[in-house]
């Protein structure tokens, strides 16, 4: 009897322990499931500051480790959703984040509804069907959004309406206060940003631009202004391109032993023979890469001028190759050129290892002592307002990034580093990353008329002005 009781107690204890364990596991599992349910929920984030515009609506869907199977977005009043503007039932469920873009047109029912009722705000409803580790679930929410269908305005456009081929142009214009971003497009697939001054109820913009070594696209430039909601307006303005010079084309026969030397120097390699492939690797691929590096190091705009505006050609030097000179490269006596390049600067010859002075006052913004590929040892000086000068193929660099330089500062010595045939200086001028004809800065009278006077007039407004942003 006693024995049995003891045995029963033992059995009961064991049963109790097992039940407790099951309960604990169930509790942990339950807590975990709750954690998953609360912690892993998909998200919906409206981009462009909870505003919708004509350009449409952009939103980010965040899966947060759930599998999303359906997303539906609609617009309506506070009481009910009325117009479905997006519905996707076959979403690839493995994404972490997904941007959805819903464009609007004047013809859309929802746009007509907004206009008819002159609405200033709406409600955006979104529904997301998803599955976390345990459940299928449904997220159903609404948010209030504002409506902004009004693009910024552009007015009072002023320009002298011409540029020389390869040269600089300017345009001044005003945009409404809601302008978030403004720029000028000259057809180069590149944006030229303004120096902007914020006044009481508008923004005054001055843009210096270049159309590169070709005429401005269709004889025009495009001025663009965008607001925060994504509304955008553009305006075309006539821009005549005057041709004052014909640039020559030179035919270059590829010299394989010169190429071998330069290839080994630039790539720090030890080849004993080079092929045409090596030539293209150097003169096409590396050249392109180097030009991109120069462009990105000459793109930033300082609101202030860092130069007196007087630029000088290198002392005692002679030009032997112009800006935009076309170079056709031939292999031996083949008829067709293997490739063509344009020369984005001036080649200036002097004595060997000649002293190089800064072309104008400025701030050293880039130094490459190891050699910038085909350009060799290179210095870039920032002159402000998006203007830069570049010095390449140097044998020696005597300045550092951040140094203030003047026209009597010796910044380095000429050489033949990089893909240079003989000792010379390759000098280039850039505006917001685009090379332009340096003869326009060397012609001090022209630079004064086209850039300095325009900038000084623009900046000396009597009202209490403040530089807003350079647009980047």
Residue 11 neighbours by CB under 8 Å, 6+ apart: none
- Cβ nearer to Zn ion, comparing 185 with 347: 347
- Cβ nearer to Zn ion, comparing 127 with 347: 347
Q: Near Zn ion by CB under 5 A, which window of 101-109, 280-288, 324-332, 347-355? A: 347-355
Q: How far is the CB of 378 from Zn ion (least distance, A)?
A: 11
Tokens encoding 261: 């030397």
Q: How far is the CB of 414 from Zn ion (least distance, A)?
A: 12
Q: Near Zn ion by CB under 5 A, which window of 133-141, 205-213, 343-351, 359-367? A: 343-351
- Cβ nearer to Zn ion, comparing 43 with 422: 422
Q: How far is the CB of 276 from Zn ion (least distance, A)?
A: 22
Q: Near Zn ion by CB under 5 A, which window of 153-161, 239-247, 423-431, 439-447? A: 423-431
**How much of the chain is helix, strand and coil, in % rounded to 5?**
20, 40, 40
Rg over alpha carbons for the chain, rounded to the nearest Å, is 33
- Cβ nearer to Zn ion, comparing 174 with 347: 347
Q: How far is the CB of 357 from Zn ion (least distance, A)?
A: 18
Q: Near Zn ion by CB under 5 A, which window of 133-141, 207-215, 346-354, 379-387? A: 346-354
- Cβ nearer to Zn ion, comparing 176 with 321: 321
426 contacts Zn ion (rule: CB under 5 A): yes
Contact 187, 211 (CB under 8 A): yes
Q: DSSP string spanning 192-251? A: EPPEEEE-SSEEEEEEEEE-TTSPPGGGEEEEEEEETTS-EEEEEEE-EEE---PPPEEE
Q: How far is the CB of 321 from Zn ion (least distance, A)?
A: 6
Tokens encoding 88: 């996707």
- What residue number has its CB nearest to Zn ion? 426
Tokens encoding 124: 């955006």
- Per-residue x/- mask for Zn ion, residues 133 to 162, rule CB under 5 A? ------------------------------
CA neighbor of 414 nearest in space, from 348, 343, 368, 319: 348
Q: How far is the CB of 343 from Zn ion (least distance, A)?
A: 6
Q: How far is the CB of 441 from Zn ion (least distance, A)?
A: 17
322 contacts Zn ion (rule: CB under 5 A): no
> Residue 149 half-sphere exposure, CB side, CA atoms within 13 Å?
17
SS3 call for 452: helix
Size of the site for Zn ion (CB under 5 A): 2
127 contacts Zn ion (rule: CB under 5 A): no
**Rounded Cα–Cα distance for residues 191 and 420 (Å):** 32
325 contacts Zn ion (rule: CB under 5 A): no
SS3 call for 74: strand
Q: Near Zn ion by CB under 5 A, which window of 269-277, 282-290, 382-390, 419-427? A: 419-427
Phi and psi at 48, nearest 5°, equal 60, 50
- Cβ nearer to Zn ion, comparing 227 with 322: 322
347 contacts Zn ion (rule: CB under 5 A): yes
Q: How far is the CB of 151 from Zn ion (least distance, A)?
A: 44
Q: Give how far Cα 316 sits from Cα of 160, 292, 425, 444, 445, Å.
A: 35, 31, 12, 18, 21
Provide the residue count of the chain. Answer: 472
Q: How far is the CB of 374 from Zn ion (least distance, A)?
A: 9
- Cβ nearer to Zn ion, comparing 184 with 356: 356
**Rounded Cα–Cα distance for residues 194 and 209 (Å):** 9
Q: How far is the CB of 319 from Zn ion (least distance, A)?
A: 11
- Cβ nearer to Zn ion, comparing 103 with 422: 422
**Rounded Cα–Cα distance for residues 93 and 65 (Å):** 10
Summarize as ranges the residues that interact with Zn ion (CB under 5 A): 347, 426
């Amino acid at each position: 009897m006693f024995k049995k009781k003891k045995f029963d107690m033992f059995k009961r204890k064991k049963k109790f322990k097992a039940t407790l364990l099951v309960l604990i596991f169930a509790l942990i599992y339950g807590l975990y499931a709750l954690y998953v349910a609360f912690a892993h929920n998909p998200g919906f984030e409206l981009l462009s500051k909870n505003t919708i515009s004509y350009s449409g609506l952009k939103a980010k869907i965040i899966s947060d480790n759930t599998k999303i199977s359906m997303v539906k977005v609609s617009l309506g009043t506070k009481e009910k959703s009325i117009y479905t503007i997006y519905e996707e039932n076959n979403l690839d469920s493995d994404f972490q984040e997904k941007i959805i873009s819903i464009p609007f047109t004047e013809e859309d029912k929802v746009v007509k509804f907004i206009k008819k009722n002159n609405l200033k705000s709406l409600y955006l409803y979104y529904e997301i069907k998803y599955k976390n580790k345990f459940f299928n679930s449904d997220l159903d929410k609404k948010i209030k959004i504002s409506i902004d269908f009004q693009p910024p305005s552009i007015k009072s456009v002023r320009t002298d309406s011409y540029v020389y081929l390869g040269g600089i142009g300017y345009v001044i214009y005003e945009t409404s206060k809601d302008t978030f971003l403004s720029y000028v497009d000259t057809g180069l697939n590149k944006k030229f940003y303004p120096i902007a001054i914020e006044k009481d109820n508008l923004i005054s913009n001055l843009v210096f631009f270049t159309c590169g070594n070709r005429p401005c696209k269709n004889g025009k430039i495009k001025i663009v202004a965008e607001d925060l909601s994504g509304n955008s307006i553009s305006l075309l303005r006539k821009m005549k391109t005057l041709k004052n010079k014909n640039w020559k084309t030179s035919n270059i026969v590829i010299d394989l032993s010169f190429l071998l030397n330069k290839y080994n120097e630039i790539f720090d390699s030890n080849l004993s023979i080079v092929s045409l492939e090596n030539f293209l690797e150097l003169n096409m691929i590396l050249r392109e890469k180097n030009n991109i590096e120069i462009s990105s190091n000459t793109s930033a705009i300082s609101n202030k001028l860092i130069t007196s505006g007087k630029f000088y050609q290198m002392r005692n030097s002679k030009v032997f190759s112009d800006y935009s000179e076309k170079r056709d490269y031939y292999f031996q006596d083949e008829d067709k050129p293997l490739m063509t390049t344009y020369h984005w600067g001036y080649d200036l010859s002097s004595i060997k290892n000649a002293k190089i002075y800064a072309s104008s006052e400025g701030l050293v913004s880039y130094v490459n002592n190891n050699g910038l590929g085909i350009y060799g040892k290179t210095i870039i000086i920032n002159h402000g307002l998006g203007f830069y000068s570049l010095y390449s193929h140097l044998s020696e660099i005597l300045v550092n990034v951040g140094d203030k330089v003047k026209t009597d500062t010796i910044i380095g010595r000429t050489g033949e580093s990089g893909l240079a045939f003989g000792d010379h200086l390759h000098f280039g001028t850039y505006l917001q990353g685009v090379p332009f004809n340096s003869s326009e800065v060397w012609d001090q009278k022209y630079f004064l008329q086209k850039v300095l006077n325009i900038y000084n007039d623009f900046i000396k407004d009597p009202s209490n002005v403040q530089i807003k942003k350079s647009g980047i």
